[in-house]
């Protein structure tokens, strides 16, 4: 029995079905786990994604790209390989890809988290023979708090800033985390304002049926906004940019799993760091791996060596699968990144460069 | 303990001086005296003892977390701070821990969960440690771990602590700074004394807060006429104050430690100066007429007593350059020129070590002869030069003398507190330089955790690159990030946290001195190496050679001492 997937120059390839999963080059047929830039690239011949994510993917790969979709759990046969997509809980429309062929089942998680998120379907464990998992936060120092507790922290910070007449600026990925945060904060504290890159995705989320609180846009040629009361949600690339000058006195906070570490918080020089991630924390990774009941585990992007060694010591048949996915941009990504406003905020800053 | 933890994180979260003082003031205003005394000790960075070895802590934490020890080590390499790593890997505490904490003040917590452990068996230690872990939330654990392992450093200067305490006590900040010096505040009683508005009994032994110089920022000629300035050699030793009051003499390091035991010859010599004298100066190691440098002095400084052999190998003297107290009166407010006049009458012998033999003869003081014992108490002579060119020429002789350059002090300057710019300048000699190639990189700690910012650098020898120095960056933050990416992308091999990289990057390395060394594979040791520039315009083949370095040794006479062991 040969493997259902192999890493090629163009990406994760299934030769039996002649398609790729999240390819990093233009290929004729691509199955997309989710629309973040390191997983969804434009220019492929044909795309397949989970139906809740169609509009989000379209906003990323262009209006003319041919996109097919599957409902969660629905099965499609591609050249004799059975393909189905299952919720990964990462962002709207994120899916684990289940492949079944000649009695063997593989699951590719893409990025995933186990925490509750009101803006997307929750992670669903899928049993398989081979489980391909991400490992962005695959060290035991990464353990997330209850999302409600983090939301309270953010609300407290926002309220304190408002009372001091400062605008609160919360830096978060434009796709996924920005919407999740908007849905989690208490809109009675003050107005919420979205950066252009965030609003593009807010529109896609709303058009897909996700309920979000009112979020104001920044009009072109705006001179002054926020009034010292608002919460501004913007991608990390605006840190230190002139765009922030719109809001007068600000307190700038970063929402990222990397904010768990004091050294990272200090180095980035933000006023505040909130530990919020759309990736699984260390216990989450172990839980998902166990729930898959897989006899073989392949570990991609993140702390691959470490997680693989731990699994091997625990008697799991585990190995590293080298890919070019990057997961949550590494702690120092935004230092080097000062891109234009519409630029995607996931960059090629891998935590560990693939060999 | 909870209050101190809050203070720690408030201080950690801000770089604003005012906010730091506010946090400190609020803490001291509310803290119980014994807790306040304890906090002062920690904030002052006084020496802390390690109650439990970090090896044991790692093992216990690994077991408590249900993960293998190597995984704790991996986490540590990633996080860059052991106290934080352990706090984060441990199981989260029970739900009520966040509200209860250890339920005791800082002093009691330090006593019962840290100080009492020092003599305990490993088993007893473990019981206490595991109990405290269950009571503390991760952010409190970090602070407690730092106290437990004796590594609690907080980013506030002594001056800020003194300022906050002075505001709470309603006394002058300079008086408070003075009261915190030396043995300072150790318990509730001494805290109460420090906070009192009356003069205290312990004043007798206390040194004054040190006045510090800054590196010169302009051309010396921009400082105005040389007649406004007094120039002295910048000695390569250890700053200290010699306090002669009442029956005894005390010698204080700049870290405010009493170092009487480490320099018995200086203490003995202090008997010759009158009661009511405080001298500021430098402890120097001198053999014959040759200065042995800072590393030699530091062999002595950490000791409570000095073995005879070391006394003979590294003889030390005290070279005074300022007089702070004369005949029992605080004269720090007098102009420097007046203080120096009085100093030279109290301590008449000038230090001529390091000078050419002819020069010392000219001054007429035989530095050491068989007949007369070596004088231990000298003053630092003025470097004479009636024009900046003449002083520059004198400064150019520094390396040969074994000094670090020249100090420029305004004739009219008072002796201030802390680092106040404008009156005292360090005019150090230009460093030696060579182009080196990056060979290994290791992740940094603290602010640079997770970034490869510790570099091992090499030069050519017999067609191969050999490591000659380790430098902890010297690059701008954005450059470190960029270099980190290059390190990750060009890694050839990993040895634990150390990455062997393809030799592609060239840096200009500056260092203060160089000497032969048997402890380094390359056979040379450079002193205070640091990167001054990233030479993107150069390829590794253009880097320097070991022969270039050896030539520098032969050119200079400075006796640079070996750096700490280099890895790998």
CATH code of the domain containing B304: 3.30.470.30
Look at B85 and A141 and tell me if their CB atoms are within 8 Å. yes
Say which residues have a Cβ less than 8 Å from residue B7's Cβ, sequence separation at least 6: B23, B24, B27, B39
Does ipTM surpass 0.90 in this model?
Answer: no
Question: What residues of chain B lie within 8 A of the CB of A303, using their CB?
Answer: 74
Whole-angstrom CA distances from A210 to A140, A206, B309 are 33, 5, 80
Question: What residues of chain B lie within 8 A of the CB of A338, using their CB?
Answer: none
Q: B189 lies in a domain?
A: no
- Cβ atoms of A320 and A343 within 8 Å: the answer is no
Question: What residues of chain B lie within 8 A of the CB of A262, using their CB?
Answer: 12, 81, 84, 142
Out of A140, A267, A310, name the one closest to residue B447 (CB).
A267
Give the residue-averaged pLDDT of B304-330: 92
- Residue B444: pLDDT band by 50, 70, 90 thresholds? confident
Q: B137 and B263: one domain?
A: no
Q: B423 and B295: one domain?
A: yes
Domain of B440? 432-555
Which of B386, B405, B428 delimits the end of a domain?
B428
Question: What residues of chain B lie within 8 A of the CB of A260, using their CB?
Answer: 88
Asked if A315 is an interface residue toward chain B (Cβ–Cβ < 8 A), one would say no
Residues of chain B numbered 532-551 and touching chain A (CB < 8 Å): none
Question: Residue A291: what are its φ and ψ, rounded to 5°?
Answer: -65, -25
Is the CATH number 3.40.50.10710 carried by domain A147-274?
yes
Q: B203 lies in a domain?
A: no
Q: How far is A296 from chain B (nearest CA, A)?
A: 21
Strands A130-135 and A296-302 come out as parallel
Q: B471 and B409: one domain?
A: no
Asked if A320 is an interface residue toward chain B (Cβ–Cβ < 8 A), one would say no
Look at B489 and A310 and tell me if their CB atoms are within 8 Å. no
Give the residue-averaged pLDDT of B536-540: 89
- Residue B61 or residue A225, greater confidence: B61
Q: How far is B486 from chain A (nearest CA, A)?
A: 10
Q: B55 and B103: one domain?
A: yes
Question: What residues of chain A lie within 8 A of the CB of B448, using their CB?
Answer: 263, 267
Out of A264, A310, A331, name the one closest to residue B71 (CB).
A310
Asked if B58 is an interface residue toward chain A (Cβ–Cβ < 8 A), one would say no
A133-158: pLDDT as tens digits:
999 999 999 999 999 999 999 999 99
How many Cβ atoms from other residues are within 10 Å of residue A305's Cβ?
15
Q: B472 lies in a domain?
A: yes
Distance CA B511, CA B429 (A): 11
Distance CA B194, CA B181 (A): 11
- Write down the pLDDT at residue B71: 96
- Cβ atoms of A182 and A192 within 8 Å: the answer is yes
- Write down the pLDDT at residue B489: 87
Q: B450 and B378: one domain?
A: no
Out of A140, A262, A335, name the one closest to residue B75 (CB).
A140
Asked if B446 is an interface residue toward chain A (Cβ–Cβ < 8 A), one would say yes
Whether residue B535 has a cis bond before it, omega within 30° of 0: no
Nearest residue on chain A to B486, judged by CA atoms? A353
Which of B377, B393, B428 delimits the end of a domain?
B428
Nearest residue on chain A to B443, judged by CA atoms? A263
- Residue B199: pLDDT band by 50, 70, 90 thresholds? low
Q: How far is B11 from chain A (nearest CA, A)?
A: 12
Question: What residues of chain B lie within 8 A of the CB of A335, using their CB?
Answer: 477-478, 481
Look at A141 and B79 and tell me if their CB atoms are within 8 Å. yes
Q: B402 and B470: one domain?
A: no
Look at A310 and B450 and tell me if their CB atoms are within 8 Å. no
- Write down the pLDDT at residue B181: 67
Residue B280 three-state SS: strand
- Residue B326: pLDDT band by 50, 70, 90 thresholds? very high
Q: B456 and B424: one domain?
A: no
Phi-psi region of B443 (alpha: psi -120 to 50; beta: other; left: phi over 0): beta
- Residue B558: pLDDT band by 50, 70, 90 thresholds? very low
Q: B286 and B419: one domain?
A: yes
Asked if B450 is an interface residue toward chain A (Cβ–Cβ < 8 A), one would say yes
Contacts A–B by Cβ distance under 8 A: 73
Alpha helices in B240-335 (DSSP H): 264-269, 294-301, 308-313
Asked whether the predicted pLDDT for residue B268 surpasses 70, the reply is: yes
Nearest residue on chain B to A282, judged by CA atoms? B89
Render the burial of B366-404: b for 16+ CB within 10 Å, e for the rest: ebeeeeeebbbbbbbbbbebeebeebeebbebbbebbbb
Distance CA A325, CA A349 (A): 10
Give the residue-averaged pLDDT of B99-114: 79
- Write down the pLDDT at residue B359: 45
Question: Residue B15: what are its φ and ψ, rounded to 5°?
Answer: -115, 5
Q: How far is B415 from chain A (nearest CA, A)?
A: 36
Percent of chain A topping pLDDT 70: 91
Nearest CA to B267 out of B288, B295, B243, B235 is that of B243
Distance CA B127, CA B402 (A): 54
- Write down the pLDDT at residue B65: 94
Q: Sign of dihedral through CA atoms A187, A192, A198, A199?
A: positive
Asked if B103 is an interface residue toward chain A (Cβ–Cβ < 8 A), one would say no
Per the prediction, chain A carries an average pLDDT of 89
Q: B128 and B217: one domain?
A: no
Give residue limits of the domains in chain A. Answer: 6-142+278-324, 147-274
Look at B71 and A306 and tell me if their CB atoms are within 8 Å. yes
Domain count, chain B: 3
- Residue A197: pLDDT band by 50, 70, 90 thresholds? very high
Look at B446 and A306 and tell me if their CB atoms are within 8 Å. no
Out of A140, A331, A349, name the one closest to residue B65 (CB).
A140
- Write down the pLDDT at residue A353: 28
Say which residues have a Cβ less than 8 Å from residue A262's Cβ, sequence separation at least 6: B12, B81, B84, B142
Percent of chain A topping pLDDT 90: 77
Asked whether the predicted pLDDT for residue B104 surpasses 60, the reply is: yes
Distance CA B392, CA A120 (A): 71
Nearest residue on chain B to A268, judged by CA atoms? B447
Strands A130-135 and A104-108 come out as parallel
Per the prediction, chain B carries an average pLDDT of 85
- Write down the pLDDT at residue A340: 29
Look at A263 and B92 and tell me if their CB atoms are within 8 Å. no
Q: B248 and B395: one domain?
A: yes
- Cβ atoms of B80 and B449 within 8 Å: the answer is yes
Which of B384, B401, B428 delimits the end of a domain?
B428
Question: What residues of chain A lie within 8 A of the CB of B477, using their CB?
Answer: 267, 335
Distance CA A161, CA B551 (A): 61
Asked whether the predicted pLDDT for residue B98 surpasses 60, the reply is: no
Question: What residues of chain A lie within 8 A of the CB of B82, using their CB?
Answer: none
Burial class (CB in 10 A: 0-12, 13-18, 19+), A339: middle
Look at B488 and A262 and tell me if their CB atoms are within 8 Å. no
- Cβ atoms of A99 and A11 within 8 Å: the answer is no
Look at B89 and A140 and tell me if their CB atoms are within 8 Å. yes
Burial class (CB in 10 A: 0-12, 13-18, 19+), B363: middle
Look at B81 and A349 and tell me if their CB atoms are within 8 Å. no
Asked whether the predicted pLDDT for residue B499 surpasses 80, the reply is: yes
Among the four given CATH numbers 3.60.15.10, 3.10.129.10, 3.40.50.1100, 3.30.70.360, the one describing domain A6-142+278-324: 3.60.15.10
Render the burial of B415-444: b for 16+ CB within 10 Å, e for the rest: bbbbeeeebbbebbbebbebbbbbbbbbbb
Q: Sign of dihedral through CA atoms B432, B433, B439, B442?
A: positive
Q: B401 and B477: one domain?
A: no
- Cβ atoms of B79 and A261 within 8 Å: the answer is yes
Question: Residue B379: what are its φ and ψ, rounded to 5°?
Answer: -110, 160
Q: B405 and B444: one domain?
A: no
Record the tokens describing residue B493, joined without a space. Answer: 């091999």
Distance CA B484, CA B467 (A): 19
Asked if B71 is an interface residue toward chain A (Cβ–Cβ < 8 A), one would say yes
How many Cβ atoms from other residues are within 10 Å of residue A316's Cβ?
17
Q: B167 lies in a domain?
A: no
Give the residue-averaged pLDDT of A314-337: 69
Look at B65 and A336 and tell me if their CB atoms are within 8 Å. no
């Amino acid at each position: 029995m040969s493997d259902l997937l192999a890493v090629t120059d163009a990406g994760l390839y299934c030769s039996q079905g002649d398609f790729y999963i999240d390819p990093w080059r233009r290929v004729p047929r691509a199955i997309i786990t989710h629309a973040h830039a390191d997983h969804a690239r434009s220019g492929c011949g044909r795309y397949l994604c989970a139906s809740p994510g169609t509009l989000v993917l379209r906003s990323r790969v262009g209006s003319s790209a041919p996109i097919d979709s599957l409902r969660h759990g629905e099965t499609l046969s591609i050249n004799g390989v059975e393909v189905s997509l299952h919720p990964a809980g990462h962002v709207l429309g994120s899916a684990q890809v289940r492949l079944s062929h000649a009695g063997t089942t593989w699951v590719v998680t893409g990025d995933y988290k186990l925490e509750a998120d009101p803006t997307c379907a929750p992670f669903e464990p899928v049993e398989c023979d081979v489980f391909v998992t991400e490992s962005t936060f695959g060290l035991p120092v990464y353990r997330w708090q209850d999302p409600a507790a983090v939301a309270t922290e953010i609300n407290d910070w926002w309220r304190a800033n408002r009372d001091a007449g400062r605008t609160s600026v919360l830096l978060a990925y434009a796709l996924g985390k920005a919407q999740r945060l908007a849905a989690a904060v208490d809109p009675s504290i003050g107005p919420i304002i979205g950066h252009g890159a965030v609003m593009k995705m807010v529109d896609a989320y709303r058009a897909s049926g996700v309920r979000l609180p009112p979020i104001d846009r920044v009009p072109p040629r705006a001179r002054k906004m926020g009034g010292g009361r608002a919460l501004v949600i913007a991608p990390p690339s605006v840190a230190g940019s002139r765009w922030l000058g719109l809001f007068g006195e600000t307190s700038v906070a970063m929402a990222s799993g990397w904010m768990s570490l004091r050294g990272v918080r200090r180095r980035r020089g933000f006023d505040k760091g909130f530990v919020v991630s759309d990736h699984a924390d260390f216990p989450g990774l172990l839980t998902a791996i166990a729930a898959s009941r897989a006899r073989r585990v392949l570990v991609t992007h993140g702390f691959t060596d470490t997680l693989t060694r731990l699994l091997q010591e625990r008697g799991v048949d585990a190995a590293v699968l080298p890919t070019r996915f990057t997961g949550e941009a590494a702690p120092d990504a935004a230092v080097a990144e000062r891109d234009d406003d519409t630029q995607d905020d996931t960059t090629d800053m891998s935590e560990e460069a693939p060999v | 303990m909870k209050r101190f933890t809050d203070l720690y994180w408030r201080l950690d979260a801000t770089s604003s001086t005012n906010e730091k003082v506010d946090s400190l003031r609020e803490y001291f205003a509310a803290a119980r005296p014994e807790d306040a005394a304890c906090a002062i000790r920690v904030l002052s960075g006084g020496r802390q003892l390690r109650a439990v070895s970090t090896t044991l802590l790692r093992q216990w934490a690994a077991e408590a977390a249900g993960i293998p020890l190597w995984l704790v080590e991996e986490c540590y390499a990633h996080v860059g701070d052991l106290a934080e790593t352990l706090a984060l890997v441990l199981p989260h505490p029970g739900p009520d821990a966040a509200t209860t904490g250890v339920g005791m003040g800082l002093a009691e917590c330090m006593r019962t969960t840290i100080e009492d452990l020092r003599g305990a068996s490993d088993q007893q230690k473990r019981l206490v440690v595991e109990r405290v872990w269950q009571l503390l939330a991760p952010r409190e654990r970090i602070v407690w771990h730092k106290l437990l392992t004796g590594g609690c450093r907080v980013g506030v200067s002594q001056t800020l602590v003194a300022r906050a305490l002075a505001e709470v006590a309603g006394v002058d900040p300079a008086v408070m700074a003075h009261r915190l010096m030396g043995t300072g505040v150790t318990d509730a009683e001494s805290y109460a004394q420090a906070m009192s508005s009356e003069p205290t009994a312990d004043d007798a032994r206390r040194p004054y807060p040190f006045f510090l110089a800054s590196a010169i920022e302009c051309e010396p000629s921009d400082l105005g006429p040389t007649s406004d300035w007094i120039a002295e050699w910048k000695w390569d030793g250890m700053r200290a104050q010699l306090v002669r009051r009442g029956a005894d003499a005390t010698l204080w390091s700049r870290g405010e430690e009493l170092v009487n035991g480490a320099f018995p010859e200086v203490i003995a010599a202090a008997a010759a100066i009158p009661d009511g004298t405080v001298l500021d100066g430098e402890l120097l190691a001198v053999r014959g007429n040759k200065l042995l440098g800072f590393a030699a002095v530091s062999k002595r400084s950490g000791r409570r007593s000095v073995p005879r052999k070391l006394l003979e190998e590294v003889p030390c003297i005290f070279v005074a350059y300022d007089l702070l107290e004369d005949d029992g009166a605080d004269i720090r407010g007098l102009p420097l020129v007046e203080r120096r006049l009085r100093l030279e009458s109290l301590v008449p012998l000038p230090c001529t070590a390091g000078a050419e033999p002819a020069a010392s003869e000219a001054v007429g003081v035989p530095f050491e002869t068989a007949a007369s014992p070596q004088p231990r108490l000298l003053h630092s002579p003025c470097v004479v030069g009636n024009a900046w060119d003449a002083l520059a020429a004198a400064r150019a002789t520094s390396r040969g003398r074994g000094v670090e350059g020249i100090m420029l002090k305004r004739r009219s300057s008072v002796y201030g507190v802390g680092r106040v710019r404008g009156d005292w300048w360090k005019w150090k000699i230009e460093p030696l330089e060579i182009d080196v190639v990056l060979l290994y990189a290791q992740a940094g700690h603290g602010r640079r955790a997770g970034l490869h910012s510790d570099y091992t650098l090499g030069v050519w020898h017999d067609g191969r690159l050999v490591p000659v120095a380790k430098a902890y960056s010297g690059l701008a933050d954005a450059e470190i990030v960029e270099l980190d990416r290059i390190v990750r992308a060009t890694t050839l091999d990993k040895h634990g946290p150390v990455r062997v990289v393809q030799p592609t990057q060239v840096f200009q390395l500056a260092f203060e001195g160089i000497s032969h060394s048997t402890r380094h594979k390359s056979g040379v040791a450079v002193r205070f190496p640091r990167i001054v520039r990233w030479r993107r315009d150069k390829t590794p083949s253009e880097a320097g050679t070991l022969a270039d370095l050896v030539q520098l040794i032969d050119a200079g006479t400075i006796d640079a001492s070996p750096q700490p062991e280099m890895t790998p």
